[in-house]
Chain A
Amino acid sequence: MSILVRLERVTCAYDRTPVLVGADLEVGEGEFIGIVGPSGSGKTTMLRALLGAVRPLSGTVRRRPGLTVGYVPQIETVNWTFPVTVLETVLMARTAGRHLPWPSAQERRDAGTALARLGLAGLGRRHIGELSGGQQQRVFIARALLQQPQLLLLDEPTAGVDVRTRHEVLHLLADLNAEGLAILLTTHDLNGMAAHLPKLVCLNTEITGVGPPEAVLTPEVLERTYGAPMDVIEHAGMRVVLDRPGAYGDNVVRLPQRGTA
């Protein structure tokens, strides 16, 4: 397996506060990796370090020469009222080095192909805010794919979406990965997303575990990652992570059930 990008002892900090410490990670061709960890654990920073959008305090980011990386930001950060259509959004991928404002016939064809591939054919003239959650996510994946990347990075692709949209996104990414695209994403969703991925990186400022879900979704690794005891059970051949009752103290407020109060 050829390596696309490698982090070597990478440490990143914001305002002198380290958010990622001594990270070693390799992303190879065709890999599908999820980065999991609590809020503030350095997931997005690791993504940005791989992307080249943050300068490491120490360590090295090595990239394969000519590597093209597509990036899909969190859709929660997108300004959905911005006056831009689906086609205009996707064509942003063809900005660098272009001077004419209107797309060429080839660019229109490429954008149309990308939209059709993601099930968005016929929606090019729609405003981005008029789409469903799953369609909105796919618009930004289409934009990243139009750059013809070898590596696709996604920041919390299922944050704030419903179960159906999460399934849509997961299946879409699995299909893209099956076609040879290397994918690396961050997620908070241990059961709905991370447990389905072939490889996980557990992060709590430092990397606390790397491997398939059955190797890292263990009570030991999860406690190192989240700083609290968690239970893991098997269900339908998959790992399911549960909060351990009373892990944060016994004074849990229990609301009375309807009709019993």
Chain B
Amino acid sequence: MHTLLEPFSYGFFRHGILVATLAGALCGLVGVYVVLRGMSYIGHGLSHAIFGGAAASAVINFNFYIGAGLWGLASALMIGRVTRRRIIGSDAAIGVITTASFALGLVLFGFFGVAHKSVDAVHYGSIQGVSVADVWVVAAVTAAIAATVFLRYRALLFVTFDPEVADVSGVNVARTDALLMLMLAVSILVTMKVIGVVLIAAMLVIPPVIARMLTNSFSRMLWLSVVIGAVSGFAGMYLSYHLDVSSGATIVLVGGTLFGIVFAATGPRGLRRAAGLEGHGPALPVEVETARL
């Protein structure tokens, strides 16, 4: 029993496991919208773009959260803008913008000689770097995003399911899309220390996919995904201590194991549900001024 509870006697572990649980829940929440829009790749791309922002912030000695956050948000909005021109698909836009940003981060790290170990920590996540301040930041962001989803639940659902009709039904589709991009960029930013740039995309995808295999209802999928993400974060961080491997990898492996269990339990029914996860891209919001009779 002492061995099982031993990690909780360390402050850094308590901080780490709290942040990992919140990060898993947060990724599970935002990931539902990402997956249902068929934009699973954006999590992967945006985390890499934010890596570029993190590198630039480190080089100019600027606040990590503000610098990388602004960089990530700018990348997300740029992806949205390029995609709206419809000549380039969203996958290509994500590929170009985010990999360029990632490459810039690598170049900056190379030029300014940032230690290799810290680059690895950003890539794969580390419990070591989690401070009390990080705990507060992740808790505050999780609370803020949960409140935003609560208050904008209907608009986010309508725009994700049927953007064209949402647009003509008085829902501001452009603003809702921008809000989702903001939530996604901020979620990646605050969770990348624990989960890591490379593996964060998995945590945006695995919990929603498992939840989708379990339910046909959107509201149930949302809270199931949050619970699965939180469980993966908690169990993954705990195992990473005992196995002495990166936290991001174990968190993702726990999620992958849960996927396997649910897949085995639900069989073809669950697979059919998950196979349909290819949401509609957001429609072009068009504002029309019409004269009145």
Contact A79 B280 (CB under 8 A): yes
B290's partner among A63, A80, A91, A95 (CB-CB below 8 A) is A63
Interface positions, chain A 228-252, Cβ under 8 Å from B, are none
Which among A82-90, A174-182, A198-206, A253-261 touches the partner chain? A82-90
Interface positions, chain A 145-168, Cβ under 8 Å from B, are 147
Q: A3-B293, A63-B293, A92-B162 are in contact. Are A85 and B168 (CB under 8 A)?
A: no
User: How far, in whole Å, are A258 and B150 apart by their CA atoms in the complex?
Assistant: 63
User: How far, in whole Å, are A5 and B152 apart by their CA atoms in the complex?
Assistant: 32
User: How far, in whole Å, are A92 and B161 apart by their CA atoms in the complex?
Assistant: 10
B273's partner among A62, A83, A91 (CB-CB below 8 A) is A83
User: How far, in whole Å, are A163 and B90 apart by their CA atoms in the complex?
Assistant: 38
Asked whether A60 is an interface residue with its Cβ less than 8 Å from the other chain, the reply is yes
Asked whether A99 is an interface residue with its Cβ less than 8 Å from the other chain, the reply is yes
Contact B290 A83 (CB under 8 A): no
Asked whether B115 is an interface residue with its Cβ less than 8 Å from the other chain, the reply is no
Contact A79 B168 (CB under 8 A): no
Asked whether B2 is an interface residue with its Cβ less than 8 Å from the other chain, the reply is no
Q: Closest A residue to B220 by CB, please name it.
A: A83
Interface positions, chain A 88-104, Cβ under 8 Å from B, are 88-89, 91-99, 101
User: How far, in whole Å, are A257 and B148 apart by their CA atoms in the complex?
Assistant: 65
Please indicate the chain B residues that have their CB under 8 angstroms from the CB of A54 in the complex.
286, 288
Asked whether B276 is an interface residue with its Cβ less than 8 Å from the other chain, the reply is yes
Contact A79 B161 (CB under 8 A): yes
Contact B288 A65 (CB under 8 A): no
Q: How far is the CB of B291 from chain A (nearest CB, A)?
A: 5
Asked whether B11 is an interface residue with its Cβ less than 8 Å from the other chain, the reply is no
Q: How far is the CB of B168 from chain A (nearest CB, A)?
A: 5
A61's partner among B161, B217, B272, B291 (CB-CB below 8 A) is B291
Contact A95 B166 (CB under 8 A): yes
Q: How far is the CB of B229 from chain A (nearest CB, A)?
A: 17
B217's partner among A80, A84, A129 (CB-CB below 8 A) is A84
Contact B288 A61 (CB under 8 A): yes
Number of A-B contacts (CB under 8 A): 120
Contact B36 A83 (CB under 8 A): yes
Q: How large is the interface on B (under 10, 10 to 19, 20 to 34, 35 or more residues)?
A: 35 or more
Asked whether A106 is an interface residue with its Cβ less than 8 Å from the other chain, the reply is no
Query: Given A83-B215, A101-B150, list of 16 further CB < 8 A pairs?
Result: A3-B293, A53-B288, A60-B290, A62-B292, A63-B292, A71-B165, A79-B276, A81-B276, A82-B276, A83-B218, A85-B217, A92-B166, A93-B169, A94-B154, A96-B155, A96-B170
Q: A71-B165, A73-B162, A101-B150 are in contact. Are A60 and B280 (CB under 8 A)?
A: no
Interface positions, chain B 159-195, Cβ under 8 Å from A, are 161-162, 164-171
Contact A79 B278 (CB under 8 A): yes
Sorted nearest first, the 5 A-B pairs with minimum C-beta distance are A81-B276, A101-B153, A96-B170, A127-B216, A95-B154
Q: Closest A residue to B150 by CB, please name it.
A: A101
Q: How far is the CB of B178 from chain A (nearest CB, A)?
A: 17
Q: A88-B219, A99-B151 are in contact. Are A79 and B279 (CB under 8 A)?
A: yes
**Most chain B CB within a 10 A radius of its CB, from A62, A96, A98:** A96
Asked whether B221 is an interface residue with its Cβ less than 8 Å from the other chain, the reply is yes
Please indicate the chain A residues that have their CB under 8 angstroms from the CB of B155 in the complex.
95-96
Please indicate the chain A residues that have their CB under 8 angstroms from the CB of B288 in the complex.
52-56, 61
Asked whether B157 is an interface residue with its Cβ less than 8 Å from the other chain, the reply is yes
A73's partner among B164, B170, B290 (CB-CB below 8 A) is B164
Contact A88 B293 (CB under 8 A): no
Contact A147 B169 (CB under 8 A): yes
Q: Closest A residue to B154 by CB, please name it.
A: A95
Please indicate the chain A residues that have their CB under 8 angstroms from the CB of B164 in the complex.
53, 73
Asked whether B158 is an interface residue with its Cβ less than 8 Å from the other chain, the reply is yes
Asked whether A123 is an interface residue with its Cβ less than 8 Å from the other chain, the reply is no
